[in-house]
Every structure is written in structure tokens, then in C-alpha cells.
Amino acid sequence: MDIRLDDKVAIVTGAASGIGLACAEMIAECGAKVALVDKNAETLPGATKRVQAKGMAKGYLQDVTVIPALNPLVSRIRKELGEIDILVCSAGINIPQLAQEVTEADWDALHEVNAKGLFFCNQAVAIQSMIPRKKGSIINIGSQMSLVGGWKRANYCASKGAVAQLTKAEAVDWAQYNIRINVVAPTFVSTPLSKGMLEDPVFKNYIMDNILLRRLATLEEVAAAVCYLASDQASIITGVTLPVDGGWTAK
């Protein structure tokens, strides 16, 4: 099956590295124009060049936790690239901690990005570009931890569980506008965010003991799932959390 996203416009948040960058590259390769949104001024230009090597792309420096800036950002992208057909919310952070170690500041930091910023990005794009045109596909990057508990993941599980539940509720609210909203829920992937964790042999063994296929997911595997859900081939799928997890959640 050849997935094509020709003549579509996509926004990808957290697009300067990791899963977000892989999604932006593959979406551009499938023919869409891509707006890369990230708060990292150092890595965004290089990421944008990488995606431009695959297709049409433009970088936008923005922190998704600055909620009042999101509507103006979406307006600017609409003016510069066109109406938005695809939104991929990949911006996210993690603070590995046991439940008893989580402070109020830690809680707020994770939920500010992983849940609040994601929701208001969804809302801004839906209100401005998808609801009026009665079309669109939103893919929120969750985690296998949207579905299960995990060691040193109480706060992270809560934030990614919120992503899964928000997505279901949005799917219900926005189905009347033909807007599809789904979650891609990866297992551990080797990214800048996870590098330090994966260097801990105890934690690495814990991961491998829980992934049935005994390996990490690749960035390309996660991006392929995103592109499928963004495409017309997935036009009947909404409100779903799709594990890309090597069988972690099957147990």
C-alpha cells in the first residue's frame, strides 16, 4: 500500500528531534507540506533542512505550553502553507521518578506539555481549520504508558493516559465534523529523550523483559503508523490508541 499525502498540509509539534522529526520527514516524503513546530532554536533549523530534503517544509519556533501563542501560530501557518489537514502532536517530556518522588512542580511540568499543550494545539487547529471545512486528521503521540503502569512512570503514565482519554473525547465531539483523532502509542525508542534511560543497564533489562519482540521500536516504525492514520486509507478509524510496542501491552 502506497501512502500518499499529496496536496495536504501538516503541522508536527516537537518536530526538531526524535519521533516528531521522523514523522515530519516521512509526512513530507509522502507529499504533504509540513510545518515543523518546536521550542528549540538550536535544533529547529537543521531539522527543517532535513525535512526540506524530503519535500516542502517550514520551521516555526514555538513552545506549545505558551497557550495564548497557539492561535496566532495556527493562523500564521494557514496563511503561509494553507489550511491544515493533518496535526501530529509529538511535543512531550519525561522525568523518570518513583511515585513518592514526584513534586508539584514535576507534575505541572509534565502535564503542561504532554496534556495541556497537546489539547490546546488540537483545539486551535480544529477550530480554525478543520471544523469549518469538516475534514482533518489529528494524531496525538501517546505511549504504551497510556495503557499500562510503569516503573518510575507514575507522573508520565498520568499525562499519557490523559492523552488517550482526551483523544477519545475529542473523537466523540468532532466526529460530526468528519475530524478523526487517534493516538500512536510507542514503546521505548532510541531518541535524545530516552538516551540516558537506555544507558542504565538495569532499566534496559527491564524494558527488554517487557517487550515481547525483544527490541526497541524504530523511529521509522512509529512514523509509518502516524502516516497511515493521517491518510485516507484510515478514513474509518477514529478514537483509537494504536500501540506500536512490540507486544508490551499484550501481556
Neighbours of 67 (CB within 10 A): 16
pLDDT in tens, 172-229: 999 999 999 999 999 999 877 677 777 888 888 889 999 999 999 999 999 999 999 9
d(CA 84, CA 86): 6
Catalytic residues: 156
The number of residues in the chain equals 251
Q: Which domains does the chain have, with CATH numbers?
A: 9-246 (3.40.50.720)
Question: Mean pLDDT, the chain, as a whole number?
Answer: 96
pLDDT in tens, 69-106: 999 999 999 999 999 999 999 999 999 899 999 999 99
Provide the pLDDT for residue 248: 95
Q: Which three cell numbers stand for residue 189?
A: 525508542
Give me the residue label for grid cell 511540568: 109
The residue type at 206? Y
In the Cβ-directed half-sphere of 51, how many Cα atoms lie within 13 Å? 34
pLDDT at position 118 over 90: yes
Provide the pLDDT for residue 122: 98
CA 96 to chain centroid: 19
**What is the reported pTM?**
0.96
pLDDT in tens, 152-172: 899 999 999 999 999 999 999
Confidence of residue 136 (pLDDT cuts 50, 70, 90): very high
Ramachandran angles phi, psi of 2, nearest 5°: -95, 110
Task: For CA atoms 216, 142, 178, 12, give the dihedral sign.
Answer: negative
Of residues 48 and 203, more confidence is placed in 48
CA distances, 71 to each of 68, 74, 91, 113, 132 (Å): 7, 5, 17, 16, 15
d(CA 196, CA 243): 23
Reduced to 3 states (helix: H, G, I; strand: E, B; else coil), residue 161 is: helix
**Helices (runs of H) and strands (runs of E) counted in the chain:** 9, 7
Mean pLDDT over 43-71 rounds to: 98
